[in-house]
Amino acid sequence: MSADTAVRPAPATGRRVPVHLPAFWLLLVLLAAGAAKVTLLLHGLFARYPAATVTAVALFALYAVPFWLFVTALDYLEREPPLLLAAAFAWGALVATAAAIPGATAAHNLVAKLTSPRYAAAWGSAVVGPTVEEVLKALGIVVIVLVARAQVNSVLDGVVYGALVGLGFQVVENIVYAVNAVALAGNGDRVGPVVATFFLRGFLAGLWSHALFGALAGAGIGYAVISARRRRSTRIAVAALALCGAWLCHFVWNSPVLVDGVGWGPYGVLLVLLLKGVPPLVGILLLVRVAREREADYYAAHLAELDDPEISTEGERRALSVGKLRSDARQYAYTSAGLRAGHAVRRLQRAQARLAVELSRAHDCADAGCADAACTEGAQGCRSPWVDRWRAEVLDQRARLRVLGHPEAVPPQPRPRDWRRWAGPAAGALALLLAWAAIRALGGS
Amino acid sequence: MGVGRRLGNLLGSAGVLAAVASIAFGLPAVDRAIPAGRPVPAGEPYEIGGGVTLVPPAGALLDVTKSRPGPDRGTALFLIGAVRCAVVAAPFTGTLEEAAARLRDKITATRGYQVTGREADVRTQSGLVGRQGGYTAPGRGGRYAVYLAGPVVVEVTISGTDLELRDVLRTIEESITTIARTGTPSPARAGP
């Protein structure tokens, strides 16, 4: 995939509510039906276990916030419309769960009828879970494409929408599992099993769960959408391959293989959880990284074409493409020139990102003979008023930074063997160990 | 947008709707069309799960959709005509009285279900001790029994109309006395 086909910028006029599209009404109707069904389900749980249900909803709603922020921040340069992001999340939370409950139950039954209760008990979840759930989640991404095809303009966009569909599914499924754990415990309306489920499914299983599988399927669909120059069969094959990958990751995670922890007790179980979960997590994060770099390169090239250090320097363009480098640049400005410099760097980065996107749109607009309503033909070719607006904002923030004595928004030079490089993985490992200890303390297994 | 693209959007939407409907309604319809009852070998112990076994009542069918034998827990539903006999084995750390109280709570949690009479002490052929009682519900009635088998509790609930129960209750009670525990439960797991 060349840089030309890695990204296809959304037209500035593509954010109207598409009431003329059948897919828009399909989405609305299915969301309403799913909302009704999930509300009934939660109402039934609340009637029997009010404290446990409220606790589960609150815990998993809070749990979704950092996931949401992380996923949406992946696509910093060209942010997706919030309504579309919410629609993706809602599809997973309402439509996919509402359809998966009867579908998965029936599929489980069919597995038992066609094989045996023993096989169904052992392998039913591994076979049925991915088959029903991954398909339903992938359909959510397809609906997003049908509703707003112009907004899915890179593989990364597919990742973002897929991850959010998966996150929505994950949240509602976890709430149901948590309250079911209370029912299984048989000790009345207690929150203990909810908290244990929160640690177990939220932390030990949460990092490599539906959001991850959905991201992989979304990457394939994103590729199929943007690769207009490829043959249709190739695009469909890539999307199908990504969906199969999501299915396989889900299957491996649900499979009963090594479920007893290779005979090493709880530590063996933890090891198996990591063995099943970490490889897909690392693989999909690498895929996301490649997709993000391709998108960043595409937009950074438009900034670089201006060849104006007042607009962006090479170091700033490099920092713009990676969340950690952006954050480091803000932190560096804050420590070396104060809070106002930190804020100015944040605004400069946002303005540079918006300018890059508008430049790419104007470029596409020129290719189309300035036919888009959002750009006009002038003395210097196609011109969008948004380009001028964001260029002015960039220059404004640059001037502010210059006054503050910190003219360039770049991260500090990395020091050799900087311990902070290991802070993230170490914090992740510590969180897993703490979650494991908490589950053991709460009596979970 | 051209007519062609709008038609494509319509066809795509119809495809999505068909796929969602086939999962939400189609799969359950296929499931309902295939009977769930399977004959079980007469006189042979059936493994409920969690190392617990039981010799099913003569002529009983096993509802394979409601039966899930597992290493640490399990369920089995036997159908004897219109009478249902559900057996659940699960890890438990309390006393027999606590287990009996928990089962009573489960039964009476369903609207209209009431426990009747006093419980009696019972014992299986393998020496497991338990408690047994009866309950009523609108148009139905039944028996329940609970046994402690080491770290596992075994709950049995039998339900049917009075007429149906009268014909098969003795057979089922004989079956219940064959409950035994033969294995050691192993830990459960978590998954998406």
Mean per-residue pLDDT of chain A: 87
Average pLDDT, integer, range A394-415: 90
pLDDT of residue A399: 95
Q: B64 and chain A: CB distance < 8 Å anywhere?
A: yes
pLDDT reported for residue B190: 39
Q: β-pairing, B114-123 with B61-63?
A: unpaired
Under 8 Å between Cβ of B190 and A204: yes
Q: How confident is the model at residue A373 (pLDDT cuts 50, 70, 90)?
A: low
Among B12, B70, B106, whose Cβ lies nearest the Cβ of A186? Answer: B106
User: What are B131's strand-pairing partners?
Assistant: B121, B146
Alpha helices in A255-321, H assignment, sequence order = 265-306, 314-320
pLDDT digits (tens, 9 = 90+) for A185-218: 777 888 999 998 898 888 777 777 899 999 999 9
By DSSP bridging, strand B114-123 and strand B180-181 are unpaired
Q: Which of B31, B49, B192 sits opposite A129 (nearest CB)?
A: B192
Q: If you average pLDDT over every residue of chain B, what do you get? A: 90
Q: How far is residue A61 CA from its own chain's centroid?
A: 16
What is chain B's Cα-based Rg?
22
Structure tokens at A391: 């260029």
* B18 and A CB contact within 8 Å: no
Confidence of residue A4 (pLDDT cuts 50, 70, 90): very low
> What does the pLDDT average to over A142-167?
94
Percent of chain A with pLDDT over 70: 86
Q: Read off the pLDDT of each residue in B171-175 and give the average, rounded to a whole number.
A: 93
What residues in A contact B65, CB-CB < 8 Å? 108-109, 112-113
Contacts A134 to B, Cβ<8 Å: none
Closest CA to A64 of A217, A212, A283, A211: A211
Please, which pLDDT band fits residue A371 given cuts at 50, 70 and 90?
A: low
Take residue B42 and report the two structure tokens written for it: 């007469």
B79 CA: distance to closest CA in chain A (Å): 15
Q: Do A253 and B191 touch (CB under 8 A)?
A: yes
The whole-angstrom separation of Cα B10 and Cα A181 is 42
Q: DSSP characters for A372-425?
A: STT-EEETTEEE-HHHHHHHHHHHHHHHHHHHTT-----PPPPPTT-GGGGHHH
Span B37-181: which CATH code?
A: 3.40.1000.10
> What is the pLDDT at residue A367?
63
ipTM of this predicted structure = 0.83
Q: φ and ψ at A403, to 5 degrees?
A: -65, -35
B120/A contact by beta carbon, under 8 A: no
**A113 CB near a chain B CB, below 8 Å?**
yes
Q: At what angle do helices A50-74 and A210-226 cross, to 10 degrees?
A: 40
DSSP state of A311: T
Among the listed ranges A47-56, A247-256, A264-273, A347-356, which one has the minimum average pLDDT value? A264-273
Closest chain A CA to residue B32? A106
Beta-carbon contacts below 8 Å between A and B: 134
pLDDT for the residue numbered A315:
92
> Cβ A103–B28 below 8 Å, yes or no?
yes
pLDDT of residue A3: 43
Of A148-157, A158-167, A362-371, B63-72, the range with the lowest mean pLDDT is A362-371
Which residues in B95-106 are b (16+ Cβ under 10 Å) and which e? ebebbbebbbeb
Q: What angle do CA A426, A427, A429 make, to 5 degrees?
A: 65
Closest chain A residue by Cα to residue B191: A254
Residue type, A51: A
pLDDT of amino acid B137: 87
Q: How far apart are CA A101 and CA A172, in angstroms?
A: 11
Residue A16 sits at φ, ψ, to 5 deg, of: -75, 155
- How many Cβ atoms from other residues are within 10 Å of residue A194's Cβ? 27
Nearest to B191 among A125, A132, A445 (CB): A125
Which contiguous run of DSSP H or E holds residue B104? helix B96-108
Q: What would the mean pLDDT of A403-427 be, rounded to a whole number? A: 77
Alpha-carbon span B191 to A400, nearest angstrom: 52
Q: Where are the domains of chain A?
A: 3-296, 307-415
Mean of pLDDT values over B26-43 = 94
pLDDT for the residue numbered A148: 92
Supply A169's token pair.
Answer: 């599914």
Domain spans in chain B, listed from the N-terminal domain onward:
1-34, 37-181
**A33 at interface of B, judged by CB pairs closer than 8 A:** no
pLDDT at position B84, please? 94
Mean pLDDT across the stretch A368-376? 57
Q: Round to whole Å and give the CA distance between A300 and A16.
A: 27
Residue window 203-222, chain A: list those with CB within 8 Å of chain B.
204-205, 209-210, 213
Locus of tokens 């279900």: B113
Q: Is A55 exposed, middle or buried (0-12, 13-18, 19+ CB in 10 A)?
A: buried
User: Chain B contacts of A108, Cβ < 8 Å?
Assistant: 65
Taking only the tens place, the pLDDT of each residue in A89-108 is: 999 999 999 999 999 999 99
Nearest-neighbour CA in chain B from A419: distance (Å) = 34
Q: Do A142 and B62 touch (CB under 8 A)?
A: no
Residues of A in contact with B185 (CB under 8 A): none
